[in-house]
Amino acid sequence: MTTILGLSGSLRRGSYNAGLLRAAAESTPDGVTIRIGDIHQVPLYNADAEAASGLPPAVVTLQQELDAADGLLLVTPEYNNGIPGVFKNAIDWMSRGPGLKMFVDKPVALIGASPSGFGTILSQSQWLPVLRTLGTHLWTDGRMMVSRASGLFDADGNLTDDKTREALRDLIAGYARYLGRG
């Protein structure tokens, strides 16, 4: 069984990216599971708080999920042409303590959805130095930058577009094949 930890970088209830992640989890091939992680309870990083209290429980849970996963799927929004602060914050926390070694050599795939016409191209590009610093292996055989997402998702953030769902299914299958080679 291949396990992928999927993280959405949006906290919004009707998030397109959380919906894209749910759709990815629903479209995995046999023998593959996407475990949807939760960044909602991750506090803002504060080295003083870490020194005083250690890692927050939400971070420990995410680290355990990352450690148990064969791959990591980051589903990133794009805010002001960049990485959402809340998402970067969660990854920063996850890399603390024993977490850094869990990222090293971990295969990572990046996808995202945006209401703009450019999808999440800038956000995905800005993840590259972060992922390189963490020592991950970025899977580059597939790309998905869903643009004009407001017409592809319903009000609850569920993916309703069959063409996008099919492309997502193909992308996840390709990533799963890549993970199976490792």
Is the separation of the CB atoms in 73 and 175 below 8 Å?
yes
Q: How far apart are CA 167 and CA 172, in angstroms?
A: 9
The pair of three-digit structure tokens given for residue 140, joined into one six-digit string:
């580059």
Is the pTM higher than 0.85? The answer reads yes
Is the separation of the CB atoms in 102 and 63 below 8 Å?
yes
Summarised one tens digit per residue, pLDDT across range 138-177 is: 999 988 999 999 999 999 999 999 999 999 999 999 999 9
Pairing state between β 137-138 and 71-75:
unpaired
Domain 2-181 top-level CATH class:
alpha beta
Can you tell me whether residue 159 is helix, strand or coil? strand
In angstroms, how far is the first alpha carbon of the chain from the final one? 13
